[in-house]
Amino acid sequence: MQAIGLASRAGRAAALASACALAVLAVVVSPGAAGAYPGLDDISQAQAAVADQQASVAQLDAAIVQLEQAAYDAQNQALLAADQYAGALDASDRADQAASDAAARSQEAAAALDQARTDLGNIAMAAYRNGGSMNDFEAIMGAQGFEDVIARSEAIDRASTEFDTMVQKVNAAEIVAESMSDAADAAAVQAQQAEDDAQAALAAAIQSQQSADDAVAAAQQTQQAALVRLADLQNTSVALEQQRQAGLASQRAAAQQAAYEAALKAAEQQSSTGGSGSGGSASGGSASGDSAGSGSTGGSTAGGSAGGSTSGGSTSGGATGGGSTGGSTSGGSTSGGSTGGTTSGGSTGSEQTGSWRSTAAQGEAAAAHAQTLMGLPYQLGGNGPAYDCSGLTYASWNTAGYRIARSSQTQYNSLTHVPLSQLRPGDLVFYGTNRSTSAIYHVAIYIGNGLVAEATKPGDLSQIRAYDASWRIDNLIPYAGRP
């Protein structure tokens, strides 16, 4: 599941001979697979363009951009599948806990039923020892005079009432025990289904990563062939063509940086005027204190490295809409500052501020713990000792005494959102395809000074980097999540 990055192969790509470079065009994605996974169809089209002896320089340049985008899309899809597995695994864990709780309640109900039946048997045995039957005829025949009849009748009435009451208790206990048993059985079925779903999600994540690796490898091979063709067309060397492509990539990265800054500015404006969005209140969980307003605005670093990612300029996603700031969403209520009704997760709108429940000290503690987890291997669904991206943020906040959701998408949907310019340590930074908050696939935790700690993808170790550097900056959501 080792992810193969474009940059990691760039060095040895230049050493390939022209004949070998053209020969790799035989490694074409099978027709049946093309279009079945993000990027594969684009790679097939680019391969065809590179193989076309009549292709122009402009067409080959476009093919290289298409290949970079295809590999990028494939990697995004793999990360999204990994995040979906994390969510499915969390659902499975919660279903297991619910099944365990239901089984415990069923056992308690069964024990209560046994006790009720025992108590009923004791009353019946006492009645038998006191005369064998509890009726008026027995009271009269066994009495010694009129007053004794009255006394025996009253005692029998009391015994009969107690007996009837206990019978009712047994009947009620039987109903409860049966209901709890049915609930336990249903919970066990749901837990099994959740486990099956998690296993299916894991298989899909593994397959998705393998497909992404294949797409990246095919894109890299085809890109090298395109460089050879370009060198031939322009009477230059492959090395010079690589430099030219790096320059073009830098221009695209600059466009992406500009688009990000525009999205951030729009988020700032929307935050200052108030707007409706996918925010909502802080997720449920224990947290001491109430923090209002924004924290420190840690510094940021400008990106701009070539990065080999998408063609720049897209600002889809971004901040839109207006209206009142969001109210509550799943998991907990707001603690002031927001007005208006409920909000729904997964949109691309702007977010409310000022309703988080964690303290700045908890954020500092979460950020500090995250830094102790750097250099660890990535693991799908990992929550320690190896981690995936949301597992690392989950564990960091859990150590700080605040429980958040488990997957990147659910973390974003359940936290209070603040513009990235208002970041404070412990805030979570998210990435979604085209900045869509309904397509979030990655999360990192802000540690201050423009840096985040994160677990990125299979094959990579957890690391610290500038959150707004070139890596997927076109997918950087302009709002952070604050527990």
Backbone angles phi, psi at 448, to 5 degrees: 105, 160
Are 227 and 288 found together in one domain?
no
Cβ atoms of 47 and 222 within 8 Å: the answer is: yes
Radius of gyration for the chain, computed over Cα atoms and rounded to the nearest angstrom: 33
C-alpha span between 220 and 229 (Å, rounded) = 14
Write down the residue that tokens 């400008």 correspond to.
Answer: 302
Question: Does 196 share its domain with 315?
Answer: no
Q: Is the peptide bond before 419 cis (omega within 30 degrees of 0)?
A: no
Q: Give the mean pLDDT of 269-286.
A: 53
Count the domains in the chain: 2
Of the three residues 236, 251, 281, the one that is the final residue of a domain is 236
Going from the C-alpha of 65 to that of each of 61, 77, 238, the distances in angstroms are: 6, 18, 17
Is the per-residue pLDDT at 125 higher than 90? Answer: no
Domain-located, residue 242: no
pLDDT at 148: 56
Model confidence at 443, pLDDT cuts 50, 70, 90, reads very high
Same domain, 278 and 404: yes
Does 121 lie in the same domain as 23? yes
Given a cut of 60, is residue 336 above it in pLDDT? no
pLDDT more than 90, % of the chain: 53
- Are 277 and 400 part of one and the same domain? yes
Q: Are residue 225 and residue 348 in the same domain, yes or no?
A: no
Per-residue pLDDT tens over the stretch 352-363: 445 899 999 999
Distance, CA of 231 to chain centre: 45
183 has a pLDDT exceeding 70: yes
For 206-259, the pLDDT digits (tens) are 999 999 999 999 999 999 999 999 999 999 999 999 999 999 999 998 998 999
Across residues 348-373, what is the average pLDDT? Answer: 81
Q: Are residues 429 and 299 in the same domain?
A: yes
Nearest C-alpha neighbor of 290 from the set 280, 282, 279: 282
From first CA to last CA, the distance across the chain in angstroms is 32
Domain boundary among 187, 210, 236: 236
78 and 161 fall within a common domain? yes
Strand order in the sheet with 440-448: 416-419, 479-482, 428-432, 440-448, 451-454, 463-466
163 within some domain: yes
Phi and psi of 417, rounded to 5°? -110, 135
Q: Tell me if 130 is assigned to some domain.
A: yes
pTM: 0.68
Judgement on whether residues 319 and 466 belong to the same structural domain of the protein: yes
> How many other C-beta atoms are found inside a 10 Å radius of the C-beta of residue 158?
11
Token pair, residue 157, equals 């009435």
Q: Is residue 299 in a domain?
A: yes
Question: What pLDDT does 78 receive?
Answer: 92
In a domain, 264, yes or no: no
153 pLDDT higher than 70: no
Q: Is 52 left (phi over 0), alpha (psi -120 to 50) or beta?
A: beta
Q: Which stretch of 20-34, 50-64, 115-129, 186-200 has the lowest confidence by average pLDDT? A: 20-34
- Claim to verify: residue 357 and residue 438 sit in the same structural domain: yes
Indicate the residue type of 54.
Q
Domain-located, residue 435: yes
Residue 265 lies in a domain: no
Domain shared by 407 and 467, yes or no: yes
Of 210, 236, 262, the residue at which a domain comes to its end is: 236
Instruction: Supply the range of the domain harboring residue 307.
Output: 273-482
What's the per-residue H, E or C state across the chain? CCCCCHHHHHHHHCCCCHHHHHHHHHCCCCCCCCCCCCCHHHHHHHHHHHHCCCCCHHHHHHHHHHHHHHHHHHHHHHHHHHHHHHHHHHHHHHHHHHHHHHHHHHHHHHHHHHHHHHHHHHHHHHHHHCCCCCCHHHHHHCCCCHHHHHHHHHHHHHHHHHHHHHHHHHHHHHHHHHHHHHHHHHHHHHHHHHHHHHHHHHHHHHHHHHHHHHHHHHHHHHHHHHHHHHHHHHCCCHHHHHHHHHHHHHHHHHHHHHHHHHHHHHHHHHHHHCCCCCCCCCCCCCCCCCCCCCCCCCCCCCCCCCCCCCCCCCCCCCCCCCCCCCCCCCCCCCCCCCCCCCCCCCCCCCCCCCCCCCCHHHHHHHHHHHHCCCCCEECCCCECCCECHHHHHHHHHHHCCCCCCCCHHHHHHHCEEEEHHHCCCCCEEEEEHHHCCCCEEEEEEEEECCEEEECCCCCCECEEEECCCCCCHHHECCEEEEC
Name the most confidently modeled range: 27-41, 59-73, 163-177.
59-73
Least confident of 97-106, 342-351, 401-410: 342-351
Residue 174 has pLDDT above 90, yes or no: no
Residue 109 lies inside a defined structural domain of this protein? yes
Are 298 and 426 within one domain? Answer: yes
For residues 323-337, one letter each, b for 16 or more C-beta atoms within 10 angstroms of the residue's C-beta and e for the rest, the string is eebbbbbebbebbee
**Two tokens, residue 323:** 């209206």
CATH number at residue 391: 3.90.1720.10
Q: How confident is the model at residue 88 (pLDDT cuts 50, 70, 90)?
A: very high
Closest CA to 40 of 51, 48, 30: 30
